[in-house]
Structure 1
Amino acid sequence: MQTIANEVFELVCSLGGTMSGEHANGLVRTPFIKRQYGDEYYNLLRGIKNIFDPNSLMNPGKIINDDPDVMIKNLRAEFKLSPDRLKTDLQFEKDELEIELQQCYGCGLCLGRDPDLRMCPVFRAMGEELASSRAKANILHYWATGQLSDEDFQSPQFRKFLDLCVNCKACLLECPSGVDVSKLMSTARAQFVKRKGLRKTESLLTRNHYLSMMSSIFSPVSNLMMRLSIFKWLLEKFTGLSRKRQMPSFKRGSFLRAGCKYLTACKPIDNPIDKVAYFVDTYANYNDHELGFAVIDVLRYNDIEVILPEQRPAPLPAIVYGDVKRARKDLSYSLKYLVKAVRDGYKIVCSEPSAALCLKQELRHFVDSEDAKLISENTYELMNYLYSLHKEGKLKQRQVAASSEAWRWQYVYHSPCHLAAVGDGQASIKLLRELCGLNVVELNAGCCGLAGTFGMQKKNYELSEQIASGLKEVLEKSPTKNVLTECAACKMQIEHLSDCIVRHPIKVLAEFYRE
C-alpha cells in the first residue's frame, strides 16, 4: 500500500497537482503533507497545532505526524475475527456474520440529522457517539476480534450498550455499506443472555403473548384494573413497566376464534383471484378485532379467499431481547401450520409490518429449513400486497360521493420503521390516493420511539420520549387529528403523545368498500 501511495504521490506532484481535494487528508495522506508543502509551511502548521491543541487531543496523528508509516498502523485487518467469538445459537449463511461485522468503514452517515433519514433514532435522541450505528458496529467488531475481554462483554456497562439499539432496521436501509446493525446487536444480546440471563422485565415481555391472552380472557375487568393508579404503580414496581404508559384495551376472547367463526358463516368465493392465509399477530388478535375483520372484509370483497391458520404471534420481543429458545419455539409452532397453507397455494399476509419482518427476515436465523425459506418467500405486508394487486388492476373500483361519511375526514400518515424494511413505505398513501381519491399527507417525522416493547419499560421511558420528540412536534402542528399507521406500537405511542385518533389504513379502505 505504501509503495502504491508513493508512486501516486510522485506522479501527482510531477503534474503539478495536489494529493487531496474535498475529502481532506486524514491518516492516509498525512505522510505526504510535509513533502508537498515544504518544511517552512509544515512547521507553521505544527506551531498553530501546538497553540490550540498542545496535547494533540483533536484528530490525533492527522496532518501533523512525523511517522512515515502511519498509514499502515492500527488497521482493522490487523485483528482477525476469533472463531470462538463468532459462535452463536442463531443460524447464518456461510461467512454472513463475519462479513456483517467488517462492513462498517466509519463514514459517519449515521451521525447525521437529515430529516429524510431515520438512522439512527437512538443517536439522534442522545447525541452521543456510543449510540450511533457506527459505534455499535465497531464495538462489536472489537469484541469479535478479541480486543474486548469476556469480563468486558459480561459487564453491566456492556449490557447498557446493548440496550442502545431499538431494532428499527433503518441502518440496513440507509447505511451506504448496508450494515445490519440490528442483526449484530440481536446476535450479541443472544450471546449475552446465554451467559447472564434475561432481566425480569425482558423475561416478562418475551411472554407478552400469554399476558395478552390472560388479559383478554378477563376483559373487561383487566381493562378497568390497568387504568387504576395503584395497579400501574404495582405493575411498575414489580415488573419494570412504566406506570406512565397506558396499556391498550383488550377485547374479550381472541380474534382468531371469532374470525374463524365469521369465515365459516361466509359464502365461499367461487372464482378467487388469489388465496391468503392471514397472520394476525398479537394486537389484532387480542386488542383490535375490528382491524382483523377489516382485513378479511377487504380481501373477500376483492374475491380473495381468506383462511386463518393456527398460529402464535411473531416473537419479536424474544428475538430482540435475546431469548433464542422461546423465539425458536414460537416460530417453529407457527411454521407447521403456515407452511401447509403455502403448499396449498396460499400467500401469508400480515397487517402488522413487524410480523411481516419477523417471517421474512428473522425466521431463517431461528429455523433453518426449506419450510422456513418457503414461508419467508411467500410472506407479504398487507398494504404492499393490496397495492401490488391495484397496480395489476385486480382491486375493485368504487365511486364514492365526496360528501360521504368516510371521506369527510382529512388524514395524515406515519410510516412505521419496519414497513420500509419489508416493502414500499408509501404503499398505503399511494393506494388510498389512487384507489380512493384520498389526499393523505406524510408526517415524515422519524421513528415513533416506542419500538415494540422498548418504550414500555420504565428504564427506557425517557429515551423513548426523546426519540419521539420530532413526531410529537409535528403532531402538534398537524391540521388534523386523524392519523393513519400500520404499526400497533406506533399507534400506541402517537395516542400517548397526543389526542389524535389513530387507525390502520385498512380500516379506511374497508369503509370505502362499504359506502
Structure 2
Amino acid sequence: MSALIQHLRQHLPDHQIIVDDLRRLAYGTDASFYRLIPQVITLIESENDVRTVLTAGRLHATPVTFRAAGTSLSGQAISSGILALIGEGFTGCEISADAGKVKVGPGIVGGEVNRRLAPLGKKIGPDPASIGAAKIGGIAANNASGMCCGTAQNSYRTLAGLRVVLADGSVLDTEDPLSVNAFSQSHAVLLGELERLGSDTRNNPKLAERIRHKFKIKNTTGYSLNALVDYEDPIDILSHLMIGSEGTLGFISSITYLTVVEDPCKASALVFFPDIRTACEAVIRLKPQPVAAVELLDRPALHSVENKPGLPAVMRELGEDAAALLIEVRAATVDALQEKISAVHTAIAGVATVEPMVFSTDPATCEMYWKVRKGTFPSVGAMRRTGTTVLIEDVAFPIESLADATLDLQGLLRQHGYHEAIIFGHALEGNLHFVFTQDFGDPAEVDRYARFMDDVCQLVVGKYDGSLKAEHGTGRNMAPFVELEWGKDAAELMRRIKNLFDPENLLNPGVIINDDPQAHLANLKPMPAAEDIVDRCIECGFCEPLCPSHRLTLSPRQRIVSVRELARREAQGLPAGSIGEDYAYMGLDTCAGCGLCSTACPVGIDTGDLTRRLRGRKMGETARTVNAWTGEHFGALASASRLGLKVGHAVSGVLGDNFLARISGGAWKKDMPHAGKAPVARQTQGDPVVYFPTCGGRIFGPADSGEKQLGDVIIELLERAGYRAILPAGFDNLCCGQMLASKGMAEEADAMANRLEAALMQASENGKYPVIMDASACSARMYKHLAGKLKLYDFHEFAHDALLPRLLITRQPGPVALHVNCSVKRTGAEAKLRTLLKACVEEVIEPAGVTCCGFGGDRGFAVPELNQHALRHIHTELPANCACGVSTNRTCEIGLTAETGLSYRSVAYLLEACSRKEGSMTC
C-alpha cells in the first residue's frame, strides 16, 4: 500500500477510498476522448474531506482533480493522481424567499435545480444540452452555457456569490462578511496581487481591449480574464476567476446564482433556407430581436436526422447546400408571444426561405423540432464505424462572419477527409459545433487529426479571431493553443494567475495551462469493439442520474467502459485480472436491468441488454438446466415459491423478520407478502375482456393476510365496470418469461412467452377481445413479443381508458405516494398512470429522488443493497401523513414497502376503494 493511500485511510472512511482496478478505470473515465487512470479515487462529502485530499496531495506530491458528473468533453475531469468525486454531501439547494437566488452545492444536477425552481417560474441561467446529467460543480467550473443562455446568463454573469476551498485548504465564503474579513487578513498577499493584476490590466488599454473583445462572443478558452477588467474588488475578481477555471484554481463548494425567468409561453419554428449564407443573413437580422434561441443546422446535420419518424417531409427534398434555423421565442403571456412572433416575421421579411416560416405553440410539435436539433450529435455517434470515437468541437466566430466561417469550416472538413461531419450550433452567439468521427488506434489517423486541428486553429484564430472553445472548456484539448488564441501577454497573465492560486501545480495540472504543444494528442482513449449492443456508446454519461446502481457499484457508462477494457485485453491476449473478477458483482449482479438508461441515452442504448447477454454467457450448465426446467414447469415453481413464503412466515412468526432477514442475506423483507393465490373466474355478464394474472401477483399475495388478492381485486373492478373477465386456460402454469430473460436465457424466455401468447390468442379468440396484464414489466415484455398481434393493456392503461368512464369515483384526500416504475416510463405510459391516480386522490406525492426502485425482478432478493441504495432518497420526500403508496409492479411494491415502511400496493386497490358504492375508502 502506498504512503498516499495510507495517509488517506487515516483520515477518510474506507468506503470513500477507491483503489480497485475496476472502479479506478470506470470512475476515472469522462465524456472526453482522453483517458488517465487515477492512482486513487476519493469520494468527498464535506469541505473537511476536500482539505484532507488537498493535504494528502501536497504531502505526497500527487495532483488532485475534482470531478462532478464527468460530462465534460475536453479532458478536464480525468487524472493520473487523486480523482476526487463530489458526493451527495454537496447536493444542497436553498431557494431564496423571492426565488431571485438559489444557493446550490456542486454535486446537484443542473436539471434537478431547475425542477425545484420551475413551480416558481424560475430557472438557472446556464442551459447546456447535458443539464439533465451535468452537475453544478462542472457547470460553474466550465462556465457552461447552452442554447438559450448566450453570454448574458452564463455562470459568470449570474454569479451572486460562492464558497471556495483553495489549494492551501483555506475557505472563502464571499457572501459571509466574517469569512471575507478573515480571508482578507489571512490572504492579504493573494488579494493584493489580484488587485494589482486587475489594476495593471485595466491600465493597459491594448490588453484590456483585447480581453473585452474576446468576451463579446462565447469564450471558454483559458481563464476568465474579463474578471480583471469587469471588477476592481479583489474578492469579486477571485470569485469570477473561479468560474471557468476547471478546478485548476480551487474547489467551489457552493455557488449562489441569480435566477432567471422561465417564461410559460413558447413557440418554435423550423425554417429551411436554400443555403448557409442566406440562413446566416437571417441570423444577423434576428440578433437584435426578442428571440430566445436560434439554432443553425447545415445540410449534413439535417441529413443525419431526416429519416426519423414525424419530421417534415421537405427535409428529405432539400438541396445539398440547404440549411435550417430552429427559432424559439418565449414570453410571459400569449399576447406578448404573438408580438415576438410578429417581430421575427418582420425581421426576416425578404430573406429567401424554402417554404414560409410557421411558428407552432403545440408542445409536441415544438418538442419534435428540438429533437431534430438535439438528435444530430448522437446520430453521427450511432453511425460511426466500430472502434472509432465521435468528437464534437466547439468554436465561435463574430456573428457577421458566421456565413463565411461556416463555409470555410465545411471546406476544411472535406479537405481532411471528414466527409461524415456535421455542423450545428447556437447561431445568435456565432457558436458552432462540428461533429466527426476519428480513429485514435491508427497513428496515421492521429496524424490526420493533428493536421486538421492545426488548420482549425489557424482558421478560427488567424482568419476570424474567434474562440477555439466557446462553451466546452479548454481542458487538455485546447490547452496547447491558449497562447495562439490570446497572445503572449494574456497567456502570461493566465500563468501568473495559476501560479498565484496554485504555486505547487497541485490542482488539475495540464488543464488550461499546458506547455506541451502535443498535449492534445496524448492519453487518447481507446474505443475497441466490444459488444454490438453497446459499441455505439459515446460515454457521455447522460444515463447515470437514472441508474439505480450508480455510485453503489457501476453506472451504465461505467459498465460499458469496463466491458470495452475487458474486450481490449482479450483481443491482445491479456488476462482479465481483477477487473474481470470484480465485474461479476459490480457489473452483472447489481445491474437492475431496468432499461431507464436507454431513455436518456442519445443513441438509445439499453445497457440492461448487455447485462442479460453477459449473464447468459456466464451461467453454468447446471444453472442453465435448472432454469430451463423451471421455465417448462412454471406451475411447480410457483407452488414451491408459495410454500417457501408460508414457511418463511411461520419462522418469522417465532424468530422475527429481522432474524430471518439476517440469515437470508436480506432476501426476507420486512412486511414480506404472504403466499398468493390464483384468482378464480366467475360466470358473470358483461363485455368480454381477457385478464392474465401475472406470476408476481399470483405468488406474492398481500402483506396483510386478511386483504384480497390482486387478481380478485381486478376481477371485481372489471365486473363493477360492466366487463366479464376471461382467464386464459392453465394460466397458473404460464409466465411471460421475464424471469429467464433477466438471467440471459433469451431462447428459453421466448419459449415461455410463446406459450403465454398461444393461451392469450385462444382466450381472446385471436385478438377479438382486449387483454389485460397486471404487472408493467410483464406487459412491456409482451408488448414487444406480440408486436401488435392483439390489443394488450397494462392494467393502469385499461383502467384509464375503459374503467374510469364507467365507474363512479369518490376521491380520497391523500396524500398517496406514487412510484412510476421503469417499465411504465420506458413504454411512455406514465401520463395515464398519473391521470388515473389524480382521478382517485386529491394529493399525490411522487418522490423526485427515485427513478428505478432497484428491485429489478429478483435483484431485490439476491442483492438487497441495490434496492436500498436506489431508494436512499425516498425517505426525506415522503410526508409523515402519507396514507399509502401505489405502483404497477408487485416486486417493486415489495421493495418499496420494505424500505419505506409504507404499504405499497397495485393502483388497482386504490381504484377499487374509490369506486365502492358505500364510499368506504381505505387505502
Both proteins in one fold, TM over 0.5: yes
The change in CA–CA distance for 1:399 and 1:230 in structure 2 (over 3 A counts) is closer
Structure 2: state its 5+ residue gaps.
1-415, 417-448, 702-707, 918-923
Q: Does residue 242 of structure 1 match 2:659?
A: no
Q: How does 1:163-312 map to 2 (within 5 A)?
A: 163-193=589-619, 210-216=636-642, 223-225=649-651, 227-229=653-655, 242-243=667-668, 247-251=672-676, 254-255=677-678, 258-260=679-681, 262=682, 265-267=683-685, 269=686, 272=687, 276-288=689-701, 290-309=709-728, 310-311=730-731, 312=734
- Post-superposition CA distance 1:9-68 (Å, at most 9, x none): 3232122211112211345434533432456766786795895457xx947687626354
Is contact 1:414–1:444 with CA below 8 Å preserved after alignment? no
1:156 corresponds in structure 2 to: 581
* Structure 1 counterpart SS, 2:806: coil
The residue number in structure 2 matching 1:91 is: none
Q: Which residue of 2 aligns with 1:495?
A: 897
Change (3 A) 1:15 1:235: closer
Q: Match of 2:772?
A: 349
Which of the numbers 536, 541, 548 marks the counterpart of 1:121?
548
Deviation at 1:307, TM superposition (A): 1.8
Q: Retained in 1: the 8 A contact 2:672–2:898?
A: no
8 Å CA contact 2:671, 2:897 repeated in 1 = no
Provide, for residues 211-242 of structure 1, a one-character-per-residue CA deviation record: whole Å limited to 9, x for no partner: 542354688666424544399868976x7663
Question: Which of 357, 373, 382 in structure 1 is aligned with 2:787?
Answer: 373
Flag structure 1 segments of 5+ consecutive residues without an equivalent: 87-97, 113-118, 364-371
Residue 806 of structure 2 aligns with which residue? 396
What secondary structure does 1:277 align onto? strand
Asked if the contact 1:226/1:247 (under 8 Å) is kept, the reply is no
Kindly indicate whether residue 754 of structure 2 is the aligned counterpart of residue 332 of structure 1: yes
More displaced 10-residue stretch of structure 1: 347-356 or 214-223: 214-223
Question: CA 1:348/1:76 → structure 2, altered by over 3 Å: closer, same or farther?
Answer: farther
- Identity, % of aligned positions: 18
Identify if the C-alpha distance between structure 1 residues 461 and 193 changes in structure 2 by more than 3 Å, giving closer, same or farther: same
**Counterparts in 2 of 1:31-46, with a 5 A limit?**
31-38=480-487
TM-score, normalised via structure 1 length: 0.73
Considering only aligned residues, what root-mean-square deviation do their CA atoms show, in Å? 4.1
Contact 1:356 1:380 in 2 (8 A): yes
Paired residue type of 2:459:
L
Of 411-420 and 41-50, deviating more is 41-50
SS in 2 for 1:321: coil
Offset, 1:109: 2.9
Displacement of 1:483:
1.7
Question: 1:494/1:433 Cα in 2 relative to 1: closer, same or farther (>3 Å)?
Answer: same
1:101–1:140 CA contact under 8 A, matched in 2: no
Which residues of 2 match residues 138-153 of structure 1 at below 5 A?
138-144=561-567, 146=570, 151-152=575-576
Structure 1 pair 357/197, CA: closer, same or farther in 2 (3 Å)? Answer: same
CA distance in 1: counterparts of 2:630 and 2:661, whole angstroms: 11
| Aligned pair partner of 1:420 in 789, 806, 825 | 825
What does 1:304-323 correspond to in 2, within 5 Å? Answer: 304-309=723-728, 310-311=730-731, 312-323=734-745
SS in 2 for 1:420: helix
- The one of 48, 64, 72 aligned to 2:514: 64
Q: Secondary structure of 1:507's partner?
A: helix
TM-score under structure 2 length normalisation: 0.43
Q: Which moved more, 1:41-50 or 1:423-432?
A: 41-50
* Alpha-carbon distance in structure 2 between the residues aligned to 1:399 and 1:169: 34
Q: Write the letter of the residue equivalent to 1:64.
A: N
Look up the equivalent residue of 1:167 and give its one-letter code: G
- Contact 1:384–1:423 (CA under 8 A) maintained in structure 2: no
Worse overlay, 184-193 or 301-310: 301-310
Residues 506 and 234 of structure 1: is their aligned pair in 2 closer, same or farther, counting only changes over 3 Å?
A: closer
Q: 1:20: which partner in 2? A: 469
Displacement, 1:430?
A: 0.9
What is the rounded CA distance, in whole Å, between the counterparts of 2:510 and 2:622 in structure 1? Answer: 38
Deviation at 1:180, TM superposition (A): 1.0
Determine the structure 1 residue equivalent to 2:556: 133
Superposed counterparts of 1:475-490, under 5 Å: 475=878, 477-490=879-892
User: How far apart, CA to CA, are the structure 2 residues paired with 1:24 and 1:51?
Assistant: 22
**Match in the other structure for 1:101:** 534
Greater strand fraction, Structure 1 or Structure 2: 2
| Matched position secondary structure for 2:787 | helix
**Does the 8 Å contact 1:338/1:348 carry over to 2?**
yes
Residue by residue over 1:113-135, the C-alpha shift from the partner in whole angstroms, topping out at 9 and shown as x without a partner, is xxxxxx122115x3xxx612211
Structure 1 CA distance for aligned equivalents of residues 748 and 536 of structure 2 = 30
Contact conserved, 1:12 with 1:19, CA < 8 A, in 2?
Answer: yes
The alpha-carbon deviation at position 503 of structure 1 amounts to: 2.7
SS in 1 for 2:853: coil
8 Å CA contact 1:277–1:349 kept in 2: the answer is yes
Whole-angstrom distance in 2 between the partners of 1:455 and 1:53: 46
Asked which structure has the greater RCO (Cα within 8 Å, sep 6+), the reply is 1
Give the distance between the partners of 1:250 and 1:433, measured in 2 at CA: 31
Deviation, 1:147, is: 5.3
In the alignment, is the contact (CA less than 8 A) between 1:209 and 1:313 conserved in 2?
Answer: no
CA 1:339–1:204: 2 relative to 1, 3 Å: closer
Distance 1:202 1:141, change over 3 A: farther
SS at match of 2:856: coil
Name the aligned partner's letter for residue 8 of structure 1.
V
